[in-house]
Amino acid sequence: MQPVHHIYPKLSQPAKVVITTHQKPDPDALGSSLALSQVLTALGHSVTVISPTNWAAFLDWMPGADKVLNYEITREKSERIVNEAEWIFCLDFNTLPRTKNLAPVLEKANATKVLVDHHQQPAVESFHYGISDTTKSSTCEMIYDLILDAGWEAHLTVDVAACLYAGLIGDTGSFRFPAASANVHLMAARLKETGLQHTRVHELIYDNFLENRLRFIGHVLTNRMEVFYEYNTALIFVSKQDLLRFDIKTGDTEGLVNYPLSIGGIKMAAICIDRDEERKWSFRSKGNVDVNTFARRFFEGGGHFNAAGGRSSASLEDTVRTFKKVIKEHASEFQLI
């Protein structure tokens, strides 16, 4: 994989461009994709953003979201566009399988593939150009850096800023997490200079849910949370019946894993959600607890040092039982005690 700055002169001529990201895109994934799409469109390129799956309804406000193709419901059209593309930008994922059923289509495509990502252990052999920087707070921060580095700052409009800011607050916990460096705050200041109304972005992301989600959270925290004080760990598990009972949609469980971290002394929080095809895990931690390694070793996942995800094909009961066994046997190794 060659350095990403090598592509700047190559993009001087209009081309057919596809931008894609991981399945079930979060604010960082969709925000970085839409921001880059607007900039490349302003430069004269023909750009299509393709999401491997649907996304949370609270992201529909993002400028350009109405034009994003959901691969799962536009397969024929999306595959034709991917096959005709000259460039494919892959944002906020480190390996092609994170694009779910879109992965084999991307793998076979003849386009030049560019990676922009901040997760650990990227599959660099899958991309021609790119940058992978785990020190960055978000892919939105990286796209912002790319815009400046390439000399495209004139196209940093208020709409682009809104998309970038959404991803920035999403992945930094509204500047709470350690990744919110001085550069992140400088970036936020520059985005404000475009005329960005940051309060509105916060409202659209965090104050834009239905009543049933709040009742679901209350149910889960009361009936589906276990706290293991001896291991400074908390666990939330959500059954398929819970999801159906409260009519939970994509994005409604976003951020739920962070709730137990507010308990004094808790160093790691985990949530397991019973999906149709598999059980999905999310892990969050404080300080020197490495959930990236934890997820990779025991739950077929990975991510960042303090935030990672995983999966299991076992039943909800079995994978939860495995989690409890693992923290008991490896608590000291992961500095939970």
Q: What is the pLDDT of residues 182-216, one digit of tens each?
A: 999 999 999 999 999 999 999 999 998 999 999 99
pLDDT of residue 74: 98
Residue 183 shares a structural domain with residue 229: no
pLDDT of residue 277: 84
Residue 42 shares a structural domain with residue 146: yes
pLDDT of 144 over the 90 cut: yes
Q: What is the CATH number of the domain that holds 72?
A: 3.90.1640.10
Residues facing 308 on adjacent strands? 283, 303
Please state whether the predicted TM-score (pTM) of the whole model is above 0.75. Answer: yes
Of 171, 206, 241, at which residue does a domain stop? 206
pLDDT of residue 111: 98
What does 213-242 look like in DSSP terms, one character per residue?
A: HHHHHHHHHHHSEEEEGGGTEEEEEE-HHH
Q: Which of 146, 101, 138, 109 has the alpha carbon at shortest distance from 126?
A: 109
Residue 176 shares a structural domain with residue 291: no
Residue 120 shares a structural domain with residue 232: no
pLDDT of residue 322: 98
Residue 281 lies in a domain: yes
Q: Which of 284, 274, 265, 286 has the alpha carbon at shortest distance from 315?
A: 274
Maximal C-alpha separation, the chain:
60
Of 143, 172, 206, at which residue does a domain stop? 206
Question: In the chain, pLDDT over 70 holds for what percent of residues?
Answer: 100
Residue 20 lies in a domain: yes
Q: What is the CATH number of the domain that holds 305?
A: 3.10.310.30
Look over the chain and give the mean of its residue pLDDT values, rounded to a whole number.
96
User: CA–CA separation, 242 vs 216, rounded Å?
Assistant: 8
For residue 308, the enclosing domain spans 211-330
Cα 143 to chain centroid distance, Å, stands at: 14
Query: pLDDT by residue (tens digit) across 63-92?
Result: 999 999 999 999 999 999 999 999 999 999
Query: pLDDT by residue (tens digit) across 30-54?
Result: 999 999 999 999 999 999 999 999 9
User: CA–CA separation, 55 vs 250, rounded Å?
Assistant: 6
Confidence of residue 224 (pLDDT cuts 50, 70, 90): very high
Query: Positive or negative, the Cα torsion across 222, 228, 232, 233?
Result: negative
User: CA–CA separation, 55 vs 189, rounded Å?
Assistant: 28
Mean pLDDT to the nearest integer, 276-299 = 94
Confidence of residue 276 (pLDDT cuts 50, 70, 90): confident
Find all residues with CB under 8 Å of 36, minimum gap 6, and list them.
19, 89, 91, 116, 143, 146
pLDDT of residue 247: 95
Residue 284 contacts residue 178 (beta carbons within 8 Å)? no
**H or E segment to which residue 186 belongs:** helix 182-192
Number of structural domains, the chain? 2
Of 190, 206, 222, at which residue does a domain stop? 206
Residues facing 18 on adjacent strands? 48, 88
Altogether, the residues listed in the chain come to a count of 337
Residue 336 lies in a domain: no
Residue 182 lies in a domain: yes
pLDDT of residue 64: 97
Residue 160 shares a structural domain with residue 257: no
Residue 224 shares a structural domain with residue 317: yes
Residue 169 lies in a domain: yes
Query: Positive or negative, the Cα torsion across 166, 170, 171, 177?
Result: positive
pLDDT of residue 315: 96
Residue 249 shares a structural domain with residue 160: no
pLDDT of residue 79: 98
Residue 329 contacts residue 335 (beta carbons within 8 Å)? no
Residue 34 shares a structural domain with residue 120: yes
pLDDT of 259 over the 90 cut: yes
pLDDT of residue 216: 97
Residue 337 lies in a domain: no
pLDDT of residue 310: 94
Residue 199 shares a structural domain with residue 215: no
Residue 335 lies in a domain: no
Residue 277 shares a structural domain with residue 164: no
Find all residues with CB under 8 Å of 23, minimum gap 6, and list them.
51, 52, 53, 98, 99, 100
Residue 230 shares a structural domain with residue 193: no
Residue 193 shares a structural domain with residue 253: no
Q: Give the angle 298-300-305 at the CA atoms, nearest 5°.
A: 75
